[in-house]
Structure 1
Amino acid sequence: MVSGKDFHPDSDIGSRLVQYADLHTDPYTGFSLLFPLKNHGEEGIGGRIHQLDRNKMTIEQPAQALLADEFEIKIKLPRGHFKFTVQDVDAVPGLRQRVPDAKPKSSAIHVTLEAGHNVLVEGFGKEFSHPGHPCDGWLNHGQPMIDGKTLLEVLDEREFFIVASFPHKEVMKYWGDAPLPPSFRYEQVYGSGTDHAWNISGAQQKWESLPSGEQFRRSITFDDINERIAVQTQFVIQDNLWVARAAAEIFATTFPAYFVPTIVDGTTRCSEYFAIIRRPAEFKAKFEAALDVLCEGEFLRLAFHKHGEDVAVPALEDRKWKNAAVDTWIAKIVAYPTGIAALAQHPTREDDIVLRVQVGKAKKGVPQDVKTFPNVSAANKSFDEDPSTWARVSLFFDPGLGEDERKVNATCQLLPGAEQTHYKRKGDAAAYDIAQLMELHRRLHMGTGFHEFIKGADNARYDPQESLVESLRQLRLDGDKSQGRALPVVDMLSACVGPYLDALLENVPQQDQPRFMRYFMERLLGLALITAAPGFGKTTAVSVVTLALSHSVGRVLASAPSNVAITNFAARLFAIECKAVALCNKDKAEDDGTRVRRKLIVRAHAIKDEVRAFQTLLKSPNQGDDAAPNHKWRPDSKWHAHLSPAWYLLGILRSPAGHQIEVDDNTALALLQSGFDAAPELQKLRDVATGKITWKEFEGDTSNNADNIKVLLEQVIDEADILCVTPSMSDKSPYQFWKETAKGVAVDEAGFISRPDLDCVWGNTLLPCILAGDERQLQPFVRTTSQKDKDGRILNKQAADGDMSPLNFFKVTGVAVYVLRIQYRMADDLFGLCHRYMYSDIDFVYHEACNPNLPHHQIGRTLEAFAQSNLPGLKQYDDGKLRPIFIHCPGSRTMKAKGSGSKFNPAQNRVALKFLLKFVLENKIDPSRIKLITPYRANRDELQRMRRKDAELVHIAGMEPVATVDSFQGREGDVVFAVLATTENSGPGFMTNENRLNVLLSRQKSGLVIVGDINIMGKVFGGGDGKGKGKARAKGKGKGMMDADKCTVKTGGAVSFVKSAFLAKVCQEMVTSGRVAEAPAEWQASEEKKAKDEKKADEEKKAQDGEKAEEKAEEEKAEEKKEEKKEAKEKAEEKKKPEGKKKGKGKKPEEKKPEEKKGEEKKADDKKADK
């Protein structure tokens, strides 16, 4: 084997001699073949091929893809089972004549494999394109490579002769088995073999047995599927294991508590109480990190225990912790109890916790009456006299193990021998070899290619199903031994060729249609990836292909990682389908048998919510989305009427609350309607739906029974052509049964979904799959990144593997990607920051609708004019483009919320709300067109609180609630206000995450206003104290100027290193472009208000450090000493006085009135209680 410019100056095919050893990977000896890609593969495939950027391969950074210019096939020699000899090239007779351009002292290597052992080939069978080059025939069409042999036959040889361009002594020293470090396998690390089934106790023991030290490096590819399963299951478990363990310990930690009624009506009996719980200071210190996580949920339970009985720490596998308690009541944490009137007489200590609880049903002897006290003094006195007068309680948090178990089970489906997840119905598998489909699915998730499968001994081929003759074709049709087994190629478009496909293509830019057709008509293994920056139409693109795929293969399961995302996906599918069908049927009569019918698209929610919403709308048809079964003491339902099973069922029953069946609807709806019309047992249900009878007349009918309604809803669900659910919901009844019948999968926001969640949706039996998203926006959620336990042990050794989405995994392992290149959302130049620093590898254009002069961008032009007149120093441009605005708030203070530690900044919030209010009032802007976002939950809550309290802000009541950046992904607004909530002193916080910052900067259509501290990554603006209206300091790297890639940040007085090139460059460019202005004085707080804020901040800090309690104790001690000195002095003076002049001598003491005595006794009791 000879290749590369070292041996021939015109060669564009290369090779490498490889000795690979890296942390937490299995080392190997081998060589690589490198073939040139033309235009990154896009010319032939229609999609771009990428490779991993190994220069940015760190635990902290997500895996990043680079456009590939060459295609690599790695050949790994079997360790310990090959031999090799090395000679100088000139020592091998006749070799110099064959390689005349070889360097002097080049080496000739002869490798021989032992019997029964083969090379491991990585990359073979993956997508490649270089039309017109010989290697395209070798790699794609099995054409002979040399001496009549194909590449597959060459790789199957037992001997290899390699010419290397360096001396044989170096080859002997650095190449081969001897220099390699020990083998690394995760199955050895965890000692699990192939057993990865859910076992939380076993997982805890495995974690405890792990060697201490650094986290494992991110795994990109896997030599076998067992390694992939080990990595993903361990990530899921370790990410939450420590929190679950803490929740169990917290449950077993009891505290005294007393109750205060929420309604004062002369009696202590009511349905809700405030519970005041006394926690020792050490409790918070021990569980602070876990409580930050557990308190993210809105609800917990208050567990009651008997006095004097021990409470054991419950086992994690025990799902019925509540059985260890006398009773449990649903509860909410009261973060700010000081403003509640009912608690005015019940001031709390720093470590106390206040809950609002709902009284549960009487259980195990718990009395219906809860003893309450009129004030804290009475409560304390009662406790001092008899502690049993207070309840004995503990905090009962959900450890969240149910979702972890679902993800582990989904990943374990990939194990060889697991039951198939699809093609289970009779006849489904007639044309497929299920075992081969499952093997291909596993190899796809390994990311190493398909060499072992292609060279398989049995020569089996995939014969397309009769219904898929046009949609499933073979990459190669001859299937002889020289070419191996063929890989399936799915045509996602041709089955709907004609007017319907033309109608769908109306949603694809004309200049992109040839590339679109090339890519989606020949998808290797049926896997398609769609990526683009924010605002480029990803959801529209994936909807078009999903609808085409549904026509090609049948049922498609559509999913997304969040309820918001899947609701948006379903709505887009429906809108595009309605438009396409209307175009197809434009000139057809209603009774024309050739009319195209819409696919039945169903956005399903929890079946209990569907039943309750159906009943609510049956009774009150005008409630719409308000029919969602929300309850004060339950998390809000995510139910929406549009496209829900309840919405369709109501329409079938002819209720005005549902979808009214139209001529172009799926025929299944009309058939269901006919069936229901003929069912006598549904007569009353039909009558109440149409208003023929009242709800009171219907209410007791058997058809109003929840189980009967569920049966009707399931009939609607079963008819769906495209079912839209979250991964979690797809695993619940009745949707998991529908999922087994799906013939294709489509996922939107696939850069945000985790690999175990995709396993849950996709299963283990190869189906056509479309993944659309952006790996440069939010990544899959990782709770535990670098945290350690009290002994310094890393809590999640696999954290780096958690943030790699399936979209990113397939992209960096070489699956071709269809890239969108037209910006549709943002007005010209509002995408500039993101493009320059996150998407510079994408050549794009603004769509004509992005012209800032168009009517729908008038609000952006109005915003710019308003900012120019209200923000002195903001630079104005005359090119007609719209640019982001940064309002700098010098001297603002970032605080931390009690309990969660989440950050908020009242001063920045005030500036944002003042600006927003003035903008709305002066320009008569509809406030619903403005969105307000912030990175922190505490700042979101603070903004909402300020909106409620300030009467002036009633003018912006039409705005949606404030959202966090993370919850706003996939959403957009005409104008977006983003409040950062951090400062130069607090440090940049969440915004160092480049993916999150990318989301924050890309939600707007016509205007973006950022409110914060421009100096969060270092001084770039203002005077030396950060408070002046000074000038920009970003031209050149002057004194104090930050480095674009790294900087030091002063956080709370301490200096720390922070790296965030994107944030640093954004801050610099905002300053140098003149788009930063200091908030006007009248928008900022008054000096008095600032002083109050500073005092509040100081108190918050002292409370967090325990200083406030210590200072109070010191003050009390000093006061006591002062009193003692005073008494001693008085006694001394008394002794010095003559006997007759001493106090009380010669004078009868004055008798006190009874009410005075009583008052003094009360004061003494209160003082004692306070102490």
Structure 2
Amino acid sequence: MAPGKSSGPGLTTAAPRANFWKPCAILLDGCRGPILGGKALGVQPQSEANSYLFMYNYTHAESSIGFSLEFPFGQASEEEGFGICHRVDYANHTTVPTDMRRIEVRFPREGFSRSVEPVISDALRSRFPGTKKHLSLVEVSLRDPTLTKVHGFGMPFKGPGHPFEELLNHQGGFIAGKHTLLEFLRQDRFWIIVAAPSGILESIWDARKLPPPFAYPYGNIHNWDEGRYAKMLEAEGHQFLPTWNYHDDNAHLTVMTQSQVQDFMWLDGAVGKIASQKSSAYFVEYAQGNTSKYFVVMALSKTFKNNFEHALCHLAKGAFKLDLYDNWEDEAASGQWDAEIVDPQGIDALNAHHLAEHEMVLLVRRPLRTQAAQGPEFEVITFQSRPAANLALNDKGYKRKVNAICLFQPGEQPTNPIGGSRDEVDFKMSLHRDLVRGTGFYDALLGNVPSGPSLEALGNLGRSLPVINLLGTDKDRIKALMQEALPQDRVRFQTYLSERPIGLGIIGAGVGSTTALAVGTIGMSATDRMSEGRNDETRVRYKHDVRGYKIEDEASAFLHLLRSPDDGDKAAPSSFLSGQSEWKIHLSAAYWLLVLLRSPNPKVRPLHRDESVALHEMRSRIEHDEQLHRLRAVASQGIDWVEYEQGLMVSKDRLDSLGDVVRIADIVCTTPSLKAHGITVNETACMSRPDLYCVWGNTLLPCLIAGDDKQLPPTVLYSHNRFGLHARISPLLWFKAMGWPIYRLGLSR
């Protein structure tokens, strides 16, 4: 990898030592046996596989020594619906298309010996006519071949007619008619012909000259603990270069949690420093006669602005608290008002105020008289800026992401314990951990293989990646869905969605990507419920589609619509601190509950006879529940809200039916419930990997994502974040870098 650059003052990146990389070929069964790889050496008959001896000397990741094999994809694999794969462009920290699937065999640094000698036999040299360079024979002996690590094992491969297709995809087939891939990888001796002088190999290709074993200096405990984080971050160091795979689960957990924690701790520290300073300010009338809101012009010192401008940009995007003091010397605030930063441009009330560059304008709200502790009668003199409310929201967001990351610790409980026995769930969780580490699936697929060095019976062991059909098997339904794709893409798109290894599909940028994602979403929706309990087996029913929001927002909006049926989207709850909710009535849980309650609200439609069976069953339960009699009456406008208030009402926290609406859904366009069957996520080029983990869980739910890597990457707040470069690697970029097949739309190819 190329050395990285400093991402902030005081940070440097440690330059790695030079790597070693030479063309080679692997001799099977000794010097006279068949040859694997060696395309660059002119192996006859012409080999299709490249192979290289390597030694990676890293100071920011695990160093390794071993060899790699590269197998070509079929020339028409993308046209046939497999997708296109990419590899890492280390110089530019991005990805480029590749036509090869790469497997790296990494020897244990303490567990092997090697001997090197020049190739002097004319008979042996004649087997490699494609090079005039010096050739050397390297013999590697392993004490325990099960300690060998294999990166790229089990990754999807397509090469119709290629002799290695079955070998790479299903661990079937044989190398040179004799060895399975697993037998080859688990052998305890390798003979390797290398295009390099023996003296150079003796001097350089030596495990004793690798950098010391690498580990991030943050231990192996990653759960949310601000006290522990503070101690960890006392000593600053250089910024870690980005890595495109993690050598073990602890490295993955460290990078993902610390990338979030270090941003949060910086914000937390900035708040403490901001809280130690006070500034003078004066009030400006918000509107004539309005005594509940004011503009405040606050004077910031040049030092304050230089030190905290970056932090304030993040802390003050929403509302915060403004602490008010009677005197400069006071330690306790006399009042605490809601406030937010506003742009003074275009505000008529400020036209007569010639604002200086160092001044900031706030919009503040006087507390209600019932909020006496916040100082509703306070007359401002000086104040301290302290965005505590916004920070509290950030705290919850960062903690949520750290908790989601920690779910990938081995031994954690499954987030979605559905689909088969616990052994199958554990297998999916193991595959998911391998996936987010980016090293292929060697650990998960060989989890049931004996640990001893014996090769006996290995030929029939090892598992393959499960292949998921995201479209189901209803041919008429699939045909209808494919009509939404471009004509030239239909066959290819159907194949791609029907043959997804581990259920993971990725749609690239281009015109129609949102439609393609929607088609995949409908295809992934549960179909079992459609046939449960219906008498007419030929009837096709509508999908029950719910746009999910926070359940407390749904409850507030539902009650608002009972009071004011015509408000529609205006029923979205809001507060001065958190702002307007993103809630919309269409297809929300509140929408569906109004449908079930026979509301004549023009914003909702009647329940169609061909709606989901589950919806009809839920309506029947509601209509036979005597405790919901008055709720049915006000929703159907048999009584008005005034009359409803005079009797027994259903409280906001007892609106269980809103949750039921979500639980019976075929498609939930939001963070999935604990019984979700799959997820779809758009714009994954600009979201963080921990954000995806929050939605996905740890049991490898079928997942279809889309994004455009030309979008801005995930935001990193703290320029001193040691994992800032890691944090900018989005889910889309991560999966592309590991070589996952990407579906490209016809117009973007």
TM-score, reference length from structure 2 = 0.86
Number of equivalences: 700
Match of 1:820 in 2: 745
Q: Is the 8 A contact 1:303 1:328 kept in 2?
A: yes
Q: What is the CA distance between 1:41 and its match in structure 2? A: 3.6
Match of 2:469 in 1: 492
Match of 1:6 in 2: 41
Match of 1:779 in 2: 713
Which of 423, 440, 444 is residue 453 of structure 1 equivalent to?
A: 444
Which of 228, 245, 249 is residue 269 of structure 2 equivalent to?
A: 245
In the alignment, does 2:107 pair up with 1:77?
yes
In the alignment, does 2:697 pair up with 1:763?
yes
Match of 1:539 in 2: 514
In the alignment, does 2:198 pair up with 1:160?
no
In the alignment, does 2:554 pair up with 1:610?
yes
Alignment of 1:335-734 (within 5 A): 335-336=343-344, 340-341=348-349, 351-361=358-368, 368-371=376-379, 390=381, 393-397=384-388, 398-399=390-391, 400-423=394-417, 428-430=419-421, 432-458=423-449, 481-493=458-470, 495-533=472-510, 536-551=511-526, 592-630=536-574, 634-657=578-601, 658-708=604-654, 710-725=655-670, 730=671
1:404/1:82 CA distance change after superposition, 3 Å: same
Q: Which has the higher contact order (CA 8 A, sep 6+)?
A: 2
Q: What is the CA distance between 1:40 and its match in structure 2? A: 7.0
Gaps of 5+ in 1: 58-62, 312-323, 373-389, 461-478, 555-580, 585-589, 731-737, 788-794, 823-841, 844-1171
Q: Is the 8 A contact 1:491 1:521 kept in 2?
A: yes
**Which amino acid is the alignment partner of residue 746 of structure 2?**
R
Q: Is the 8 A contact 2:154 2:465 kept in 1?
A: no
Report Cα offsets for 1:35-70 as digits up to 9, x if no partner: 22222742565212222223423xxxxx22x22122
Match of 1:282 in 2: 303
Name the CA distance, whole Å, in 1 between partners of 2:528 and 2:499.
14
**Which amino acid is the alignment partner of residue 522 of structure 2?**
L
**Which amino acid is the alignment partner of residue 585 of structure 2?**
A
Q: What is the CA distance between 1:111 and its match in structure 2? A: 0.8
Alignment of 1:779-858 (within 5 A): 779-784=713-718, 787=719, 795-822=720-747, 842-843=748-749
Name the CA distance, whole Å, in 1 between partners of 2:73 and 2:537.
49
Name the CA distance, whole Å, in 2 between partners of 1:144 and 1:352.
74
Match of 1:33 in 2: 69
**Which amino acid is the alignment partner of residue 490 of structure 2?**
Q
Name the CA distance, whole Å, in 2 between partners of 1:209 and 1:21.
25
Name the CA distance, whole Å, in 2 between partners of 1:270 and 1:185.
59
- More deviation, 654-663/509-518: 509-518
Q: What is the CA distance between 1:627 and its match in structure 2? A: 2.2
Q: Is the 8 A contact 1:326 1:363 kept in 2?
A: no
Name the CA distance, whole Å, in 1 between partners of 2:416 and 2:201.
50
Gaps of 5+ in 2: 1-25, 27-34
Q: What is the CA distance between 1:161 and its match in structure 2? A: 0.6
In the alignment, does 2:130 pair up with 1:136?
no
1:46/1:349 CA distance change after superposition, 3 Å: closer
SS at match of 1:51: strand
In the alignment, does 2:82 pair up with 1:46?
yes
Q: Is the 8 A contact 1:250 1:396 kept in 2?
A: no
Match of 2:141 in 1: 112
**Which amino acid is the alignment partner of residue 604 of structure 1?**
G
Q: Is the 8 A contact 2:338 2:576 kept in 1?
A: no
Q: Find the structure with the greater CA-based Rg.
A: 1
1:325/1:422 CA distance change after superposition, 3 Å: farther
**Which amino acid is the alignment partner of residue 228 of structure 2?**
G
Q: Is the 8 A contact 2:688 2:727 kept in 1?
A: yes
**Which amino acid is the alignment partner of residue 597 of structure 1?**
R
1:139/1:283 CA distance change after superposition, 3 Å: closer
Match of 1:1086 in 2: none
Match of 1:940 in 2: none
1:645/1:551 CA distance change after superposition, 3 Å: closer
Q: Is the 8 A contact 1:496 1:551 kept in 2?
A: no
Name the CA distance, whole Å, in 2 between partners of 1:339 and 1:622.
32
In the alignment, does 2:204 pair up with 1:182?
no
Name the CA distance, whole Å, in 2 between partners of 1:762 and 1:598.
26
Report Cα offsets for 1:946-1002 as digits up to 9, x if no partner: xxxxxxxxxxxxxxxxxxxxxxxxxxxxxxxxxxxxxxxxxxxxxxxxxxxxxxxxx
Report Cα offsets for 1:414-438 as digits up to 9, x if no partner: 01122211116xxx54374332221
Q: Is the 8 A contact 2:322 2:338 kept in 1?
A: yes
1:393/1:230 CA distance change after superposition, 3 Å: closer
Match of 2:154 in 1: 125
Report Cα offsets for 1:572-619 as digits up to 9, x if no partner: xxxxxxxxx9xx9xxxxx995521112211102222322222223223
SS at match of 2:520: helix
1:494/1:371 CA distance change after superposition, 3 Å: closer
Q: What is the CA distance between 1:719 and its match in structure 2? A: 1.4
Q: What is the CA distance between 1:71 and its match in structure 2? A: 1.8
Q: What is the CA distance between 1:821 and its match in structure 2? A: 0.9
1:348/1:146 CA distance change after superposition, 3 Å: closer
Q: What is the CA distance between 1:647 and its match in structure 2? A: 0.9
1:4/1:369 CA distance change after superposition, 3 Å: closer
Match of 1:296 in 2: 317
**Which amino acid is the alignment partner of residue 124 of structure 1?**
F
Report Cα offsets for 1:391-442 as digits up to 9, x if no partner: 5544334222221111111111101122211116xxx543743322211110
1:326/1:483 CA distance change after superposition, 3 Å: farther
1:224/1:300 CA distance change after superposition, 3 Å: same
1:770/1:645 CA distance change after superposition, 3 Å: same
Match of 1:1025 in 2: none
1:4/1:306 CA distance change after superposition, 3 Å: same
Name the CA distance, whole Å, in 2 between partners of 1:506 and 1:350.
57
1:669/1:280 CA distance change after superposition, 3 Å: same
Report Cα offsets for 1:124-161 as digits up to 9, x if no partner: 11111111121223323421113611121011011111
Match of 1:907 in 2: none
Report Cα offsets for 1:655-693 as digits up to 9, x if no partner: 132232112211222222222222333333222223322
Q: Is the 8 A contact 1:747 1:770 kept in 2?
A: yes
Report Cα offsets for 1:198-242 as digits up to 9, x if no partner: 22343233233132x4x3211101111211111111111223432
Q: What is the CA distance between 1:335 and its match in structure 2? A: 3.6
Report Cα offsets for 1:1148-1170 as digits up to 9, x if no partner: xxxxxxxxxxxxxxxxxxxxxxx
Q: Is the 8 A contact 2:685 2:731 kept in 1?
A: yes
Name the CA distance, whole Å, in 1 between partners of 2:442 and 2:379.
74
SS at match of 1:819: coil
- More deviation, 497-506/360-369: 360-369
Q: Is the 8 A contact 1:83 1:113 kept in 2?
A: yes
Q: What is the CA distance between 1:334 and its match in structure 2? A: 4.5
1:121/1:281 CA distance change after superposition, 3 Å: closer
Name the CA distance, whole Å, in 1 between partners of 2:62 and 2:273.
39
Q: What is the CA distance between 1:528 and its match in structure 2? A: 1.4
Q: Is the 8 A contact 1:238 1:796 kept in 2?
A: yes
Q: What is the CA distance between 1:355 and its match in structure 2? A: 3.0
**Which amino acid is the alignment partner of residue 118 of structure 2?**
D
Over the aligned positions, Cα root-mean-square deviation in angstroms equals 3.2
Q: What is the CA distance between 1:757 and its match in structure 2? A: 0.9
Name the CA distance, whole Å, in 1 between partners of 2:337 and 2:61.
49
In the alignment, does 2:230 pair up with 1:204?
yes
SS at match of 1:692: coil
SS at match of 1:414: coil
- More deviation, 30-39/137-146: 137-146
1:349/1:49 CA distance change after superposition, 3 Å: closer
**Which amino acid is the alignment partner of residue 72 of structure 1?**
R
Name the CA distance, whole Å, in 2 between partners of 1:309 and 1:117.
69
**Which amino acid is the alignment partner of residue 403 of structure 2?**
N
Name the CA distance, whole Å, in 1 between partners of 2:299 and 2:658.
49
